[in-house]
Amino acid sequence: MEKIADKIRAFPFPPIGLAFLVGLLLGWLAIGWWLWPVSWTDADPWDLRAEHQERYVTLVAKGYARTRNADQAKEALASWENQALADLLATMQDQAPDSETHRQLADLASALGLPRSEAVAPTEPRAFPAVPPLRSRLVTVFGTAGAALVVVVLIVLALSTRPWDSIAEWTRRAQRAQAVEAPKLIPGHFVSTYAQGRDDYADYFSIEAPDGQFLGECGLSIGRILGRETPRRVTALEMVLFDSFDHRTETRILMSRYAHEDAALRQELMTRGELILADPGAEALVETNNLQMLATVTDLEYADQEPVEGVFQRVVVDLDVRIKHLPAEATAEVEPSAA
C-alpha cells in the first residue's frame, strides 16, 4: 500500500489538471462560444428568424394563389404548430404592404383551416446577439486562458502544504528530464586554417560523445592543385564529415573562383562531392544520420599568381558540429546530484 501511495503522490496531478482545465475552458467557452460559434444548417422554416419565416409563408401563399392546391400548401407547412402559424398569418395580414398580399394570406389561412389567432399585436423579430469582431474574440480567448491559468495555480498552491517546495520539485524534475536529452545538442567548434606553403595540409578533428566515445570526424585537406610547382598551388579544398555509426562520409569541395568557373575543373570535381564557391561568409550545411556540421568561410585571400583568383593564399573555415542523435550504444546518462 505504501508503494501505491508513493506512486500516487509522485504522479503529476497538478500539471495534468492544469492542462485539462485550460483545454476545457479554451475548447468549451472560448472557442465554442466566441471564436467559432455554432452555426445552424438545414433548419426547418419554423426555426428561422421571424423575417425569414414570413418570407417563407409569403411564398407558400403566392403559390397557393396561383395553383389553388390546398394539399400542396398544407404539405409545405406540415409540422408547423397550428396556433403559432395562425398567429404568424394574422400578424402578416396586419402588416401586409398591399391588398393583394393581404388577400393571398387570408386565402391561405382559410385553406389551412387554422384556429383563430390569439395574436393581438405584431410579433417582434427575435433579437440575436451580434457576433463580436475577431479581435475582440481573440482577446476573450486569451483572457479566459490567462484567468484559468491563474485560478489553477492558486488552487495548486492552496492545496500544497509547502507550495514553494512543490514548485522547486517540479523544476528539478524538468531539469532531470532535460539533462537526459541535452547530449543530443552538444556543440563542437573547430577552426581550420590553410596557408600557402602547407603542402601537407590536412586538418581533421574528432567528434566525441559526452562520455568520450568516438562518434566521427570532420575537417579539411587539399583537394586539387594546379601544376607541379612547390609550394603547391591549391585551387580547391576538400571538406568532409564522417559518421562512425552509420559509416557514412559526406564530402564538399571548396573551390576558388577560377576553378568554379572552369568547366573542365567543375566536371572533374563534381564527382567527388557538392561544389561550393569559396567566398568570405559562404556557408555549407553538411549532415549525416547522427551529425550536423555548418562550415563557414571566415577569411579568404588569393595568391598574386596566375590564374587570377585561382590559387589560395589563405583560407580560414569555422566548423560548428552538433550531435543530432546519439545512438543507443553511445548514450551516456548522467544523473544530476540530489539537491
The reported pLDDT for the residue numbered 251 is 95
Tell me the three cell numbers of residue 162.
Answer: 509547502
| Predicted confidence pLDDT, tens digits, the chain (339 residues) | 555 555 555 555 556 666 666 666 666 555 555 555 656 565 667 667 777 778 878 887 887 888 888 788 777 777 778 788 788 888 888 888 888 888 888 888 888 877 777 654 444 444 445 555 655 666 676 777 777 777 777 776 665 555 555 555 666 666 555 544 444 445 689 999 999 999 999 999 998 887 788 888 999 999 999 999 999 999 999 999 999 888 889 999 999 999 999 999 999 999 999 999 999 999 999 999 889 999 999 999 999 999 999 999 999 999 999 988 776 655 543 333 333
The reported pLDDT for the residue numbered 224 is 95
The reported pLDDT for the residue numbered 109 is 81
How many beta carbons lie within 10 A of that of residue 307, not counting itself?
16
Peptide bond into 12 cis (omega under 30): no
SS3 54: helix
| 68 in any annotated domain | yes
Number of H helices and E strands in the chain, helices first, is: 10, 9
The reported pLDDT for the residue numbered 125 is 45
Nearest CA to 192 out of 318, 6, 40, 59 is that of: 318
Burial of 336 (0-12, 13-18, 19+ CB in 10 A): exposed
| 122 in any annotated domain | no
* Claim to verify: residue 104 and residue 244 sit in the same structural domain: no
* Claim to verify: residue 224 and residue 286 sit in the same structural domain: yes
Number of domains in the chain: 3
| 106 in any annotated domain | yes
Q: Is 114 left (phi over 0), alpha (psi -120 to 50) or beta?
A: beta
| 212 in any annotated domain | yes
Residues in the chain: 339
* Claim to verify: residue 149 and residue 106 sit in the same structural domain: no
* Claim to verify: residue 310 and residue 245 sit in the same structural domain: yes
**DSSP character for 257?**
H
* Claim to verify: residue 190 and residue 213 sit in the same structural domain: yes
Task: List the beta bridge partners of residue 98.
Answer: none
Burial of 145 (0-12, 13-18, 19+ CB in 10 A): middle
What angle do helix axes 163-181 and 134-159 make, rounded to 10 degrees? Answer: 110
* Claim to verify: residue 150 and residue 31 sit in the same structural domain: yes
Helix (H), strand (E) at residue 105: helix 99-112
* Claim to verify: residue 16 and residue 154 sit in the same structural domain: yes
| 178 in any annotated domain | no
User: Could you give the CA distance from residue 219 to residue 188 in angstroms, rounded to a whole number?
Assistant: 12
Sheet containing 187-195: give its strands across.
187-195, 312-323, 291-302, 283-287
Question: How far, in Å, are 49, 152, 166, 167, 269 from residue 161 at the CA level?
Answer: 56, 16, 9, 12, 70
Taking the alpha carbons of 58, 59, 63, 69 in that order, is the dihedral positive or negative?
Answer: negative
The reported pLDDT for the residue numbered 276 is 95
Tell me the three cell numbers of residue 231.
Answer: 609550394
* Claim to verify: residue 208 and residue 311 sit in the same structural domain: yes
| 81 in any annotated domain | yes
Tell how strand 291-302 and strand 214-225 pair up.
unpaired
SS3 247: coil
Do residues 72 and 111 lie in contact, with contact meaning Cβ atoms separated by under 8 Å?
Answer: no
Do residues 256 and 282 lie in contact, with contact meaning Cβ atoms separated by under 8 Å?
Answer: no
Residue 129 identity (one-letter amino acid): P
User: Could you give the CA distance from residue 170 to residue 158 in angstroms, rounded to a whole number?
Assistant: 16
* Claim to verify: residue 139 and residue 17 sit in the same structural domain: yes
Q: How much is the pTM?
A: 0.45
* Claim to verify: residue 268 and residue 296 sit in the same structural domain: yes
* Claim to verify: residue 241 and residue 196 sit in the same structural domain: yes
| 124 in any annotated domain | no
Rg (CA), the chain: 40
| 235 in any annotated domain | yes
* Claim to verify: residue 70 and residue 155 sit in the same structural domain: no
Residue-range definition of the domain harbouring residue 32: 2-37+131-159
